[in-house]
Amino acid sequence: MRGFTLIELLVVIVIIGLLAGIGIASFQGSIQKGNDAKRISDATSIMDAVDRYYLDHNAFPLPATAGNFATNCSDTPTHEDINTVLAPLVTEGYLEKIPSDSKGYWPYCYMYQAPANYVHCADSTSHGALLIIATEASAFSTGTEYALVGESGSEHRYCIYSKF
């Protein structure tokens, strides 16, 4: 008799399933890390543009009510629109456009505040503006990588400050 027994076929199917599961989990982690790298790059670009705007105008782009948050979260309608508040960065050539998170819902969106006074961002009152982002894949150690400072109570939310 030639061929494979039912047990042999089941063992092969289980092994293939395990390998596929490991591959999918690894792929998902890579997607999250890629999304996080884009978030950090976008946030750094925004804050660099805010700093250059400040150097030219001696003021930060401000929400209609100073100190309010401006965001591009689709599910936080009580905050001002970040595209409106930071529009001068685009119209004056500091940024090509205001970046947005690919997920676009809380907490995966960008929150801008000027003047900075958010109590959960350590030392925020000594900076003129801040941007808060969230990451998916991993928590960075506080205050080291990308100048991200962890927000109180969350390993995956970070405050990025203006230089002024």
Residues 68 and 116: their CA atoms lie apart, in Å, by 9
Question: Residue-wise pLDDT tens for the chain (164 aa)?
Answer: 678 888 988 999 999 999 888 878 777 778 888 888 888 889 889 999 999 999 999 999 988 887 788 888 776 667 788 889 999 999 999 999 998 887 777 777 888 888 888 877 777 778 888 888 888 876 654 444 445 556 555 557 788 888 88
Q: What is the pLDDT of residue 148?
A: 57
Residue count of the chain, please give it: 164
Position 16 scores a pLDDT of 92
What local confidence, expressed as pLDDT, does residue 144 receive? Answer: 40
